């Protein structure tokens, strides 16, 4: 189906095209100088010591767990209201996902109070997900982690440049993971980044992302090394220079993109203020965030009504989505399932409305009007 107003649209122009062209003309397209430049620029933007570019965010989550030496039998507390990759990475290393509920329709992030009740002698880490770029309650999570000797991994795939008390998301735990999938704030098609302030973690991450090799192809091509050893079982998780060149162009455009998203969010809030049947998560949040998506949650009704509203919006030319089906409900995660009533309510009642920097305010007004009409017609 072709939509008049899609869920997302790329913020691409001649700058991305030129970045790719320059990379092609350089005759070096695998991981090399542009990847290094992107890593340095990303680290500087977040105010963190190290940024390691990877093939995608899933590899970042996997390497975060590997680097922290989390393995079979270890427990990792994580939300279920997230993309499945967050939890899949836990299973990649043989660890056990322990699902925590969210706070509720007004705040779709992990409930730090419930996290505290789930800590056992087998718990090794807390993996948070900053939903939509809005920060989890990191003060309590960090206190819990410090008190119990736990690691904190931030799935910050929604939150490049989002802040929590003046610090960038992804820099508040041991390791922070970012996604550059095609519908993210920074879009490279595929791609990811992991950040840390720990020098030892940085060294191990760089080793693991490239087969455990002690030198890279670009270094050998430039004569800096003529041989290499393999000292650990690593992976082919590298980013290449083509994706990195696009990423750097996107990063340079990101501040303006996020400012426009904030204005559009304000337009949404104004036009939905009188719609009593929905909750707008994080409505009163004041900090700077990426506004990756604009979710709304129906206050009552059924999943069938939610889907009927989405169908009505589609018939009006408006694409929507759901963020997310609850991971603990998937067949593969039945052995780890527990009661998560607030997560399940959100998964059954959430609708993601279009949000991207080229969206116009008159289109936001149309979306809000169509939503109000659909709510009326499905009562």
Cis peptide before 324 (omega within 30 of 0): yes
What SS3 string covers the chain?
CCCCECCCCCCCCHHHHHHHHHHHHHCCCCCCHHHHHHHHHHHHHHCCCEEEEECCHHHHHHHHHHHCCCCCCCEEEEECCCCCHHHHHHHHCCCEEEEECEEECCEEEECHHHHHHHCCCCEEEEEEECHHHCCCCHHHHHHHHHHHCCEEEEECCCCCCCEECCEECCCCCCEEEEECECCCCCCCECCEEEEECCHHHHHHHHHHCECCECCCHHHHHCCCCCCCCECCCCCECECCHHHHHHHHHHHHHHHHHHHHHHHHHHHHHHHHCCCCCEECCCCCCCCCCCCCCEEEEECCCCHHHHHHHHHHHHHCCECCECCCCCHHHCHHHHHHCCCCHHHHHHHHHEEEECCCCCCCHHHHHHHHHHHHHHHHHCC
> What is the spatial distance between Cα 178 and Cα 162, in angstroms, rounded to a whole number?
12
Tokens for 330, please give them. Answer: 């998937």
CA distances from 163 to 79, 172, 291 (A): 20, 10, 11
Sheet holding 294-298, edge to edge: 278-279, 294-298, 350-353
HSE at residue 113, side-chain half, CA atoms within 13 A, is 3
Whether residue 140 lies in the annotated active site = no
Catalytic option among 168, 184, 299, 366 = 184
Q: Among all residues, which ones are annotated catalytic?
A: 184
């Amino acid at each position: 189906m072709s939509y008049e107003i899609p869920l997302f649209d790329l913020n691409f122009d001649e700058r991305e095209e030129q970045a790719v062209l320059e990379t092609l003309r350089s005759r070096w397209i695998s991981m090399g100088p542009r990847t290094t430049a992107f890593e340095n620029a990303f680290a500087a933007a977040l105010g963190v010591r190290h940024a390691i570019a990877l093939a995608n965010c899933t590899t970042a989550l996997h390497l975060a767990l590997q680097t922290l030496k989390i393995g079979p039998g270890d427990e990792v507390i994580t939300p279920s209201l997230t993309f499945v990759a967050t939890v899949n990475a836990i299973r990649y290393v043989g660890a056990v996902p322990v699902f925590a509920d969210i706070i509720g329709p007004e705040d779709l992030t992990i409930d730090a109070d419930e996290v505290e009740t789930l800590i056992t002698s087998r718990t090794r880490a807390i993996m948070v997900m900053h939903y939509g770029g809005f920060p989890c309650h990191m003060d309590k999570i960090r206190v819990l982690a410090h008190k119990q000797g736990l690691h904190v991994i931030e799935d910050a795939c929604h939150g490049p440049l989002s802040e929590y008390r003046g610090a960038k998301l992804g820099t508040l735990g041991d390791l922070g993971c970012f996604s550059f999938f095609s519908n993210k704030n920074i879009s490279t098609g595929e791609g990811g980044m992991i950040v840390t302030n720990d020098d030892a973690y940085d060294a191990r991450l760089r080793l693991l992302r490239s087969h455990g090799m002690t030198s890279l192809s670009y270094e050998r091509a430039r004569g800096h090394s003529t041989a290499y050893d393999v000292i650990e079982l690593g992976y082919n998780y590298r980013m290449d220079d083509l994706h990195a060149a696009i990423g750097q162009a996107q990063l340079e455009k990101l501040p303006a993109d996020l400012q426009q998203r904030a204005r559009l969010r304000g337009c949404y809030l104004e036009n939905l203020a009188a719609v009593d049947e929905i909750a707008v998560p994080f409505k009163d949040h004041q900090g700077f965030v990426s506004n990756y998506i604009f979710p709304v949650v129906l206050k009552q009704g059924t999943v069938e009504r939610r889907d009927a509203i989405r169908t009505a919006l589609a018939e009006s030319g408006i694409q929507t989505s759901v963020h997310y089906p609850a991971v603990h409900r998937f067949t593969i995660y039945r052995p780890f399932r527990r009661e998560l009533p607030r997560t399940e309510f959100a998964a059954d009642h959430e609708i993601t409305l279009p949000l991207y920097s080229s969206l116009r305010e008159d289109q936001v007004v149309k979306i809000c009007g169509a939503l109000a009409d659909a709510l009326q017609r499905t009562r």
